[in-house]
Amino acid sequence: MNKIAIIGAGAVGATIAYATMIRGVAKQLALYDINRAKVDAEVLDLNHGLQFVPMATLEGSDDIGVCAGADVVVITAGAKQKQGQTRMELAGANVEMCRTLVPQLLKVAPDALLLVVTNPVDVLTYVVQKLSGLPARRVFGSGTVLDSSRFRFLIARHLNVAVQNVHALIAGEHGDSEIPLWSSATVGSVPLMKWSAPGHSRLTDGDRTRIFDNVRNAAYQIIRGKGATNYAIGLATAQILEAVLYDENRVLPVSSRLDGYQGIGDVCMSVPSIVNRAGVETVLEVPLDDTEREGLRRSADTIRQAIRTLGF
């Protein structure tokens, strides 16, 4: 029986539990948070909805033992961005949390894959992999799965086509140095850069700049309005969990340890990757133009520098 453990019952952790429960991804869900009142309340509320979703069991605790035997552990606990704060500014506090958390997790769920969502997600994925000593493929981050869904949504809305027909990725850091992969984007098999369909707009240079700015600044905008982003990351994480637990071999831009990827190494960041029950099985070599290749290298440098500053 599949078991998902979620660390942190805040806005993100609770919404991942909700999305996962509605989609019936796991039969057993466990939430762990140091705030006992919060985790109890979230689990009670979720349990009251069980009648309306595929059958599952949900439990919560401030005791890490609740995560025992999990197949996947999703880490969402820790500090989040305050208004105007970048994700990188959270690094120090959240790395310290991982120093305590990771050994505890390894004890109770030694066979689990670790999926990092807490920000800065690329830095923390690297740190969690180092602290755990687990093989790189078993530790990965939600990366730019969310950014890519924002990207696809904005392209789809501009061209007035279904978002499911847009295939376009944001790669690199889940953060300010991320890179849009325009050159490989397609809409219904038509290369996006050549897109032209009567009644379905075109994509000018100005449109591309505006769309990418919106993607990069989306979290800042949402945090200004409601203090947290939760729904889309909840659904994005549920899809990653499905890819793992259903052994889907799904291609997703998750963050994982790269070594010798298009000249990039010793860093965690997002590139399209095949995700299955073993974790990140393979990273794919996407065709890149010169700007994209250079942008990805710079993004890797930014993340690596943050990792080094933290002493890893």
Q: How far apart are CA 61 and CA 298, in angstroms?
A: 41
Nearest-approach distance from CB 210 to ligand NAD, in angstroms: 22
Our CB check for ligand NAD shows the closer of 161 and 179 to be 179
Nearest-approach distance from CB 39 to ligand NAD, in angstroms: 7
Our CB check for ligand NAD shows the closer of 67 and 296 to be 67
Q: What is the 3-state secondary structure (H, E, C) of the chain?
A: CCEEEEECCCHHHHHHHHHHHHHCCCCEEEEECCCHHHHHHHHHHHHCCHHHCCCCEEEEECCHHHHCCCCEEEECCCCCCCCCCCHHHHHHHHHHHHHHHHHHHHHHCCCCEEEECCCCHHHHHHHHHHHHCCCHHHEEECCCHHHHHHHHHHHHHHHCCCHHHEECCEEECCCCCCEECHHHCEECCEEHHHCCCCCCCCCCHHHHHHHHHHHHHHHHHHHHHHCCCCHHHHHHHHHHHHHHHCCCCEEECCEEEEEEECCEEEEEEECCEEEECCEEEEECCCCCCHHHHHHHHHHHHHHHHHHHHCCC
* Nearest alpha carbon to residue 6 among 107, 121, 116: 116
Our CB check for ligand NAD shows the closer of 144 and 184 to be 144
Cα–Cα distances in angstroms (integers) from residue 287 to residues 90, 214, 264, in the given order: 33, 24, 15
Our CB check for ligand NAD shows the closer of 40 and 207 to be 40
Residue labelled with tokens 């807490």: 118
Nearest-approach distance from CB 202 to ligand NAD, in angstroms: 30
Our CB check for ligand NAD shows the closer of 33 and 71 to be 33
Q: How far apart are CA 98 and CA 95, in angstroms?
A: 5
Nearest-approach distance from CB 234 to ligand NAD, in angstroms: 9
Q: Which residue is nearest to ligand NAD (CB)?
A: 10
User: Which residue numbers are catalytic?
Assistant: 174
Nearest-approach distance from CB 105 to ligand NAD, in angstroms: 10
Our CB check for ligand NAD shows the closer of 184 and 270 to be 270
Nearest-approach distance from CB 14 to ligand NAD, in angstroms: 7
Residues that bind ligand NAD (CB under 6 A): 7-13, 32-35, 38, 76-81, 90, 97, 101, 117-119, 121, 142, 146, 174, 228-229, 233
